[in-house]
């Protein structure tokens, strides 16, 4: 399972790179066309915004996997190993609940906006809100796998990496 998640993260990083390249290409081309030929690509603003939204949510998934989000653990590091695991399980439980809230809200927005076309492309606005749903589901899978590692007896250092900064 670890290998599957690692490969999935590499795929997500590749998708993020493609989205970033697409954004740069769209915006740069639009700027050149506007200043040089007094015209532009009407879709570029909307598509680049959509690319940015999707790239942000994909990066957040990778951040969940790589423990890249803000984590204040100065108290938890001083606790015994069992207490560290308990705190970790509580924290992951809260994260799962928040992912469920975010995912259910995103699902509602997807359903509401299925028939709402975007102004320029005409694609359903649900496409934008689908990014939040994808984030919630994939992040929940990562968190559940992390919890599995805790309950299977993995050392705390394997479950949750921390920064070891010299005092």
Alpha helix segments (H runs only) across the chain: 2-37, 44-65, 81-112, 126-151, 156-159
**pLDDT score for 155:** 64
Sequence-distant (6+) residues with CB within 8 A of 54 are 15, 19, 131
**pLDDT tens figures, 8-42:** 999 999 999 999 999 999 999 999 999 999 888 88
Is residue 1 within 8 A of residue 61, CB to CB? The reply is no
Burial grade of 4 (CB within 10 A; 0-12, 13-18, 19 or more): exposed
At residue 156, the pLDDT reads 54
pLDDT of residue 63: 95
CA dihedral for 148, 6, 47, 20, sign (positive or negative): positive
The residue assigned the tokens 């699902």 is 107
> Which pLDDT score is estimated for 134?
97
User: Where are the chain's structural domains?
Assistant: 2-159
Question: Where does the pLDDT of residue 159 fall: very low under 50, low under 70, confident under 90, or very high at 90 and above?
Answer: low
Share of the chain above pLDDT 70, in %: 92
CA distance 41 to 159: 47
Task: Determine contact, residues 115/124, Cβ cutoff 8 Å.
Answer: yes
């Amino acid at each position: 399972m670890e290998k599957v998640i690692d490969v999935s993260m590499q795929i997500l990083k590749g998708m993020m790179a493609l989205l970033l390249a697409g954004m740069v290409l769209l915006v740069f081309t639009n700027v050149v066309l506007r200043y040089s030929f007094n015209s532009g690509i009407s879709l570029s603003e909307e598509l680049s915004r959509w690319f940015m939204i999707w790239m942000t949510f994909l990066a957040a998934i990778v951040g969940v996997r790589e423990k890249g989000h803000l984590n204040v653990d100065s108290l938890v590091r001083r606790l015994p190993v069992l207490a560290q695991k308990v705190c970790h399980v509580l924290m992951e439980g809260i994260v799962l609940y928040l992912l469920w809230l975010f995912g259910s809200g995103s699902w509602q927005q997807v359903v509401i906006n299925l028939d709402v076309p975007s102004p320029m492309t005409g694609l359903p606005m649900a496409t934008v809100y689908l990014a939040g749903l994808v984030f919630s589901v994939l992040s929940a899978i990562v968190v559940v796998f992390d919890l599995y590692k805790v309950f299977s007896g993995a050392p705390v250092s394997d479950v949750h990496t921390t920064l070891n900064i010299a005092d």
